Amino acid sequence: MSFTTRQVKVLVVDDSAFMRKIISDILEEDPKIKVIDRARDGKEAVEKTLKLNPDVITLYVEMPGMDGLAALKEIMRLKPTPVVMVSSLTRKGADTTMKALALGAVDFVAKPSGAISLDMKDVAQELREKVLIAASASVEKLIGIALPTKEPIRPIQIKRKNIEVVAIAASTGGPRAIQDILGNVKTTSIAPIVIVQHMPAGFTKSFAERLNEISILEVLEGYDNLQLKPGMVVIAPGGRHLIVEYNRAKQLICRLSDMPPLHSVKPAADLLFLSVADIVGDTSLGIILTGMGRDGAEGAKAIRQRGGYVIAESSDTCVIYGMPKVAVEQGAVDEVLPLHAISIRIEELAAR
């Protein structure tokens, strides 16, 4: 997987000298990464960001004084820079991480065993990859600085059947994009929406709860045999694949699977999209948002071949124009739209 060709300059921020050393050593195992400095708290992180111009910052959340969230706000205000949050695997850590993503963090990595994690090697590859991906992310798009003018979108030209299921795929930059879409849906009389956001176990519940607070729709983490109903949004749980099928009463339900990761991710959007194509066919709507990789392209092509409709997010608003680009190149997309237009199109196609 290709991220960036230049050496990435990283500022490592953690209140623990031990963790600053461990994280720095992990990152510099990749010759494409150079740790240019370390900071012990949020205040020092902001000062060194302004002075050193790092390409990426790894930022621990729970620090005394100015904590990670406060530092993130200041960095995004003064000098928007790609940030990978480092959080704990606790419920509080998950909630704080969701706030960080809403404030403009590109992604996050969870310390496996608390503030002082002797087993950081377990997430070493993930940390390096996310730092390299973050280096190519457009933070300006993530926090709304460089978004295009919200011009009206053209009405859809094709008469379509009422959509039964909306399936959405997202990865890096996805939490903010999904929040934007769901926050702008103006009706609860709409087909159920099922979302695969690449996110580890323990975080999707907090993600769903945060979305439920900002949307008029009912947002919840998916579980086995959950019946899909109008006005409902289901987030695939981290660490499980999610598909849709009909039960014996001919009701659409969610099913969870422990199949191995696909495209190195679990949940995988392709599995959701393929099930939607098989079960719902020409009354399905697939949407591929920002993210690195190719997840969703194969399933989107299946939805389109079955007569469903597929939308890809435009490069104008993507934080990472990877997943949508692959889908477009493979001929799996009916329409390319900027982020602000996607909620409008969902209502137009999927309102009951």
Stretch 56-70: mean pLDDT:
92
9 three-class SS: strand
Q: How far is CA 110 from CA 90, 127, 229, 352, in A?
A: 9, 9, 33, 40
- Would you call 241 a catalytic residue per the annotation? no
- What residues contact 25, with CB distance under 8 A and at least 6 apart? none
Catalytic member of 171, 206, 275, 284: 171
Supply φ then ψ for residue 44, to 5 degrees.
-65, -35
Catalytic member of 15, 138, 295, 314: 295
Stretch 104-126: mean pLDDT:
81
161 compared with 20, residue with greater pLDDT: 20
Instruction: Calculate the CA 192 to chain-centre distance.
Output: 19
DSSP characters for 99-115? HHHHHT--EEEEETTSS
DSSP characters for 190-207? B--EEEEE---TTTHHHH
Stretch 102-115: mean pLDDT:
83
Catalytic member of 14, 55, 198, 284: 198
For residues 260, 266, 271, 273, the Cα torsion angle rounded to the nearest 10 degrees is: -170
- Would you call 198 a catalytic residue per the annotation? yes
- What residues contact 158, with CB distance under 8 A and at least 6 apart? none
Using alpha carbons, select from 62, 65, 56, 66 the residue that is nearest to residue 24: 56
- Would you call 340 a catalytic residue per the annotation? no
Phi-psi region of 258 (alpha: psi -120 to 50; beta: other; left: phi over 0): alpha
Is it the case that residue 46 has pLDDT exceeding 60? yes
The whole-angstrom separation of Cα 350 and Cα 303 is 15
Is it the case that residue 118 has pLDDT exceeding 90? no
pLDDT at 64 (0 to 100): 87
